[in-house]
Structure 1
Amino acid sequence: MRNYLPSILLIAVFVIVWEVGARIVNTEFILPAPSGIGLKLWDLKGLLLKEHLTSTLLIIVIGLAISIVLGIALAITMTQSSVMEKTFYPIIITSQTIPIIALAPIFVLWFGYSIWSKVVVTILITFFPITVSTYDGLRSSSKELKELLLTMGASKKDIFFKLDVPSAIPYFFSGMKVAVPLSVIGAAIGEWLGAQEGLGYFSRRMMTQFDGAGVFAPIVILSLLGIIFFLIVIMFEKKALKWRK
């Protein structure tokens, strides 16, 4: 806790300033006080946690799972073939130049209000950091060690699993630490633009009712979700990379 004391103090100061400022302005529907958001969150805890949280959580998990499989597969494919690299890498980069928020309504037209329109948005946002980080990691393996393994009679399979993969693992987790918070954003964007349930949908519904505290309450849960998933990634990273200590 001592290591994070400056951050905790800064957040506390920010919340206090926010609370005082909101009370001075006294416009709850525009700038609700943190205390008001907390009370609203408590009042809606059953509805948000039992109904809407489950939907959002499912979107995040499915989107991340597909992004991990797709990202790792693309990274391996590009490192094993220069033709595949020249084919897919520009497409991967180009996919990130398209505003996702502009594509989300199109996905709603294609998939309706089902879960898959939100999952696709989440995948488009999250697969990029996983793919690029893993790809860079696979290419970062030491050439000297590779030459040493070749002189010792190692096959391409041995070099891949014993040199390339261990070299790529730290990069993969770096990509995951970027992708996890983005997955929460992707799910929220998808629900905001077209859904019948979920934390993003509930926040948009509260906005139409000019309920500022109701808008912020699901956002607080989304933020906590991002933090929890980030900590889970760090936990797995520490277990997988014990040698870095």
Structure 2
Amino acid sequence: MRATRWRYGAARVAYAAVWPVLGLLLAITAWWLVTTAYPLVHPAVLPPPTDVLAAFRRRPGELLDGTWTTTLETVIGFLLATVAGVLIGISLAASRATERMFSPLLVAVNAVPKITLAPLLVIALDFGQKPILTMVILLAFFPVALATTTGLTTTPADLAELARSLDASRWQAFSKVRFPAALPQIFIGLKVAMPLAAIGAVLGEFYAADGAGLGFQILQYSGVADSATAWAAIILVGVMSIVLYNALVVIEWLALPWVRETTSAR
């Protein structure tokens, strides 16, 4: 029975992996068609796949170092944004007055184009990781705060009634009932915030990087001279985002086993 279950699980994983690979192959084929077979785009805008592959071979160490730098900035900024977003969400959910006072302010902060703040962050924090991490936090915290608030304010009525019937304290009701019930919603916010964190890291590197990071490399190599290397860096940003997003999906899968048992899956 265990061997059969293992084979069934392995078959499901293999089947699920087929579709992303197929999508990647179709994307590369379309890319080759519009840049090589039937050139519709100038190479300075979108170089052929072979040129981008050659760029990877020319500068593997530089691109990998940039990937590591940007990944580190994305992860650290995302974790800080998660802490800030969860704390803000808890504060808003704890008091209706607090939510009414500060929700419009949070919406206003989120609506400001963050690119307009980048030069100010450099002036205030100088070049380096500080303004980059600040940019990541500014882009990523809002979905987490909103999801946390929504999750905590929509606790199922039967669970809330159960906590009251057991004479649970406010802390016990929060830690044992409301917060666990809000976790699926919080993870939705986290999965929205993760790609935004990668965008924030690259955007911050456009203005504040001191010679490292994929964003710096995209800016450095953009243009007619070596756009293939810029596209290699862009592809690495996408790969990094996919890996981090799926790592978050795995964490959710491991942390919330009851969700799989109580919801239908496709």
Range into which the TM-score falls when normalised by the shorter chain: over 0.9
Corresponding residue for residue 53 of structure 2: 38
The SS at the match of 1:28 is coil
Residue 17 (str. 1) matches residue 30 (str. 2): yes
Instruction: Check whether the contact 2:44–2:223 (CA below 8 A) recurs between aligned residues.
Output: no
What is the Cα-based RMSD across aligned positions, in Å? 1.7
State the Cα distance separating 1:57 from its structure 2 match: 2.1
User: 3-state SS of the aligned residue for 2:238?
Assistant: helix
1:103 has 2:101 as partner: no
| 5+ residue gaps, structure 2 | 1-13, 261-266
**After alignment, is 120-129 or 148-157 more displaced?**
148-157
- Among 212, 219, 236, the residue aligned to 2:227: 212
Report 1:93-242 matches (<5 A): 93-196=107-210, 197-208=212-223, 210-242=225-257
Distance, in Å, in 1 between the alignment partners of 2:167 and 2:141 is: 36
Provide, for residues 25-61 of structure 1, a one-character-per-residue CA deviation record: whole Å limited to 9, x for no partner.
38432220112112211221111213x2232122212
Superposition deviation, residue 183 in structure 1: 0.7
Cα distance between partner residues in 1 of 2:134 and 2:223? 26
**Counterpart residue number, 2:73:** 59
For the residues of structure 2 that align with 1:47 and 1:153, how far apart are their CA atoms?
60
Aligned partner of 1:76 in structure 2 is: 90
Does residue 103 of structure 2 align to residue 89 of structure 1? Answer: yes
Structure 1 residue 144 displacement after superposition? 3.0
Q: How many angstroms does 1:143 deviate by?
A: 2.4
- Equivalent residue of 1:96, what SS? helix
Shift of 1:162: 1.2
Deviation of 1:193 after TM superposition, in Å, equals: 2.6
Segments of 5+ residues of structure 1 without an aligned counterpart are none
Q: 1:15 Cα deviation (Å)?
A: 1.3
Q: Distance in 1 between matches of 2:168 and 2:30?
A: 62
Q: Structure 1 residue 6: deviation in Å?
A: 4.5
Deviation digits for residues 134-173 of structure 1 (CA, Å, limit 9, x no counterpart): 1111111122322232122111111111110111111111
Check 1:153–1:190 CA distance in 2 against 1; reply closer, same or farther (3 A cut). same
Instruction: Report % sequence identity.
Output: 28
Question: Are the structure 2 counterparts of residues 84 and 111 from structure 1 closer, same or farther at C-alpha, using a change threshold of 3 Å?
Answer: same
Q: TM-score, normalised by structure 2?
A: 0.86
Q: Does the aligned pair in 1 maintain the 2:44–2:224 contact within 8 Å? A: no
| TM-score with structure 1 setting the length | 0.93
Pairs aligned (count): 244
Q: Please state how far the C-alpha of 1:229 moved relative to its aligned partner.
A: 0.6
Q: 2:119–2:207: 8 Å Cα contact kept in structure 1?
A: yes
Residue 264 of structure 2: aligned partner: none
Deviation at 1:232, TM superposition (A): 0.8
